[in-house]
Every structure is written in C-alpha cells, then in structure tokens.
Amino acid sequence: MSVKPGWNGRFFEDFVIGDVYQHPLGRTVTTTDNIWFTLLTQNTAPVHFDHHYAAQTEFGRPLVDSTFTLALVTGQSVTDVSQNVMANLGWDDVRLPAPVFEGDTIYSYSEVLATRESRSRPNVGIITVQTTGYNQDGTVVITFKRTLMVYKRGQAPVIPRPIVAEPKA
C-alpha cells in the first residue's frame, strides 16, 4: 500500500504577489442557511427571514444576510489561502455590489496582493489577498481584502494523521 499525502494548504513561502487562486467549491445558499444564520446572529431585519415582508420590497424576495455571504466566501478561500493560518488580522474594503438571494450558488477566487515577513513572529509571514465572490451568472456579489498571518513551512502545529492499515484478508 502506498499512502500519499493530501493537500495541506499553502505556507507563507508559497504565496507570490499576483497569483490568483480559483477556489474549488461552489455553494448554493438555501432558505434554511439564510434564516438560521440571520437569527443565530440576532439580526432582526425581516427582509432576511420573512418571505411575506420581503415580497413587498423592491427585490420581491428575501435577501441573504450579507454577513453570511462574507463568512461563506471567506470559508471557500480557506483551502487555498488560510489552511495554515495562525491568525486573521482583518477584513478591509468589504463591498457588496449585488444582492445574494436564496437559491444562488456562490463561487470565489483570491488574488495575492502583498506578502511580508512578520516583524514580531519569526514562524509566520503576513499576506494580504483580495477575494471576490460571484454567483452562478458571474455577477460579483462581494469583494474584500483580507490580511492574515500564515505559518512558514515546518512551523505549523502538527495534525496527527494515523496511517491507514491494510485490510486483513
């Protein structure tokens, strides 16, 4: 049996300014996602969870909670950007140029804008990416810059991974 390691994410040394990462997973937003996230975060705006109310707005249907969109698109970027994160330092310039509706499928990509060594922690570097989320029609629904500390190769905590035993005959 040959055990092959899976994708472990990028380390600081892997980020190059100008690189663009097309994140692999899209996600269709459901009514349940929208209602649960809205109420979980104590957002009381009925445009997110009251279909009768939302039908009377210019959109004619519920809007997806914008903080759900931010969380979803950030999550989509983890595989490529922050699998080896030490800490998020911030989101900047968050823009929502178009609404997200229940039933939309969201995709995303990130571009590396900046990299630098950490001045205070020799085991990490600091990167900044611009992430863009778009729907199934290609309409951009969110953009933001995100700055984070990423471990250098060989500096991240070790995740225990047991070796899979061969099946017994």
99-109 confidence digits (pLDDT tens): 999 999 999 99
109-160 confidence digits (pLDDT tens): 999 999 999 999 999 999 999 999 999 999 999 999 999 999 999 988 887 7
Q: What's the mean pLDDT in 5-19?
A: 89
Three-state DSSP class for residue 150: strand
pLDDT band at 165 (very low <50, low <70, confident <90, very high): low
Single-letter code of the amino acid located at 50 = D
- Whether 1 shows a pLDDT value over 60: the answer reads no
Distance CA 141, CA 137 (A): 11
Burial class of residue 68 (count of CB atoms within 10 Å of its CB; 0-12, 13-18, 19+): buried
| Domains in the chain: boundaries | 12-151
**What is the structure's pLDDT at 26?**
97
71 conformational bin, left if phi > 0, alpha if psi -120 to 50, beta if neither: alpha
Beta bridge partners of 87: 149
pLDDT band at 169 (very low <50, low <70, confident <90, very high): low
Three-state DSSP class for residue 10: coil
pLDDT band at 7 (very low <50, low <70, confident <90, very high): confident
Single-letter code of the amino acid located at 104 = D
Taking the model in full, what pTM does it have? 0.89
**Vertex 144 angle, CA 115 and 66, to 5°:** 150
- 152 contacts 12 by C-beta, under 8 angstroms: yes
The two tokens of residue 91 are 């989101």
Class of 12-151 per CATH?
A: alpha beta
pLDDT band at 20 (very low <50, low <70, confident <90, very high): very high
